């Protein structure tokens, strides 16, 4: 059967919202009972508790309410480790309003001198499903800390979006495909190996619904038409179009 990422996401939303409706109070209890204490430890028990509280927090927040925003802010402000901070950041990136802006901006200010952490900051913002995902991508592409010549930064933006946000990457408008194709075309003359690797999500174009297939194929053909196509990119594009 043809893959429809939006339909899969919609079904997942129904299941998660049903779980919250049925077991919200239990989830709240589990979250509160497993909160990170003031002392940070790396015992297996403490690590397990952090994973559990963060997973439950993200499930509880699926409806993106004001209460969820307040929980994200409290969680972030109380965090004394990167696991908890990242969980709050991922949640914040899915929200709209002051809590989101406070957390996203504070995280950047705290860690702007740590490139690998800022890579995660870029990725967190493009991996969530939002109406304005393409606007966020465009803004991050122009961010002073984005450098197209830095492979890690390229992966943190383009690959994180295309490979970890199937709903928005495969939006029926084709905007996600165009965004990735533009990146591949730009990188073709800068880092052909990275450009070729970015094509991975487009290679499986025949697996998707006909409307998506058409736009994915068009994106591949636009890349294939480049007059100065590198050998790395040519190999992947030609094989993908033949396959």
pLDDT in tens, 188-219: 999 999 999 999 999 999 999 999 999 999 99
Please, which contacts does 36-39 make with residues 24 or more away whose CB atoms are closer than 8 Å?
36/78, 36/79, 36/80, 36/81, 36/84, 38/80
Average pLDDT, the chain: 94
| 158-162: average pLDDT | 97
Which is nearest to 131 in space by CA: 103, 91, 173, 160? 173
| 228-233: average pLDDT | 94
- Tell me the C-alpha distance between 220 and 23, whole Å: 45
Local confidence band at 152 (pLDDT 50, 70, 90 cut-offs): very high
| 93-117: average pLDDT | 95
Q: Distance of alpha carbon 120 from its chain centroid, rounded? A: 10
Helix runs in the chain, H state only? 5-33, 44-60, 66-78, 82-94, 98-111, 115-126, 133-141, 151-154, 160-164, 166-169, 175-187, 192-198, 200-203, 210-224, 231-242
Strand partners, 3: 208
Residue 102 CB neighbour total at 10 angstroms = 16
Q: Percent of the chain having pLDDT more than 90?
A: 87
| 39-62: average pLDDT | 86
| 230-235: average pLDDT | 95
- Tell me the C-alpha distance between 105 and 179, whole Å: 25
Lowest mean pLDDT among 29-33, 41-45, 109-113: 41-45
Q: Percent of the chain having pLDDT more than 70?
A: 99
- Tell me the C-alpha distance between 212 and 205, whole Å: 8
pLDDT at 243: 64
Place of tokens 């790395």: 232
For the entire predicted model, the pTM comes to: 0.92
pLDDT at 103: 96
Residue 166 CB neighbour total at 10 angstroms = 18
- Tell me the C-alpha distance between 66 and 57, whole Å: 14
Local confidence band at 4 (pLDDT 50, 70, 90 cut-offs): very high
Res. 41: pLDDT tops 80: no
């Amino acid at each position: 059967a043809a893959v429809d990422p939006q339909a899969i996401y919609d079904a997942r939303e129904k299941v998660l919202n049903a779980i919250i409706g049925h077991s919200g109070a239990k989830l709240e209890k589990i979250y509160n009972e497993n909160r990170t204490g003031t002392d940070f430890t790396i015992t297996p028990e403490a690590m397990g508790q952090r994973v559990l509280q963060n997973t439950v927090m993200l499930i509880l927040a699926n409806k993106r309410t004001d209460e969820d925003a307040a929980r994200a802010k409290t969680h972030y402000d109380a965090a004394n480790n990167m696991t908890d901070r990242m969980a709050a950041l991922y949640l914040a990136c899915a929200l709209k309003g002051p809590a989101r802006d406070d957390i996203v901006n504070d995280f950047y200010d705290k860690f702007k001198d740590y490139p690998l952490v800022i890579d995660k900051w870029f990725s967190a913002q493009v991996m969530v499903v939002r109406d304005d995902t393409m606007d966020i991508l465009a803004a991050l592409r122009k961010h002073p800390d984005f450098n197209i010549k830095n492979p890690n930064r390229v992966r943190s933006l383009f690959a994180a979006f295309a490979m970890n946000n199937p709903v928005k990457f495969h939006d029926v408008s084709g905007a996600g495909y165009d965004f990735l194709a533009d990146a591949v075309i730009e990188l073709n003359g800068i880092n052909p190996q990275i450009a070729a690797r970015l094509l991975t999500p487009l290679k499986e174009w025949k697996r998707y619904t006909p409307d998506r297939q058409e736009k994915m194929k068009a994106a591949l053909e636009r890349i294939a038409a480049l007059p100065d196509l590198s050998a790395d990119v040519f190999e992947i594009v030609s094989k993908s179009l033949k396959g």
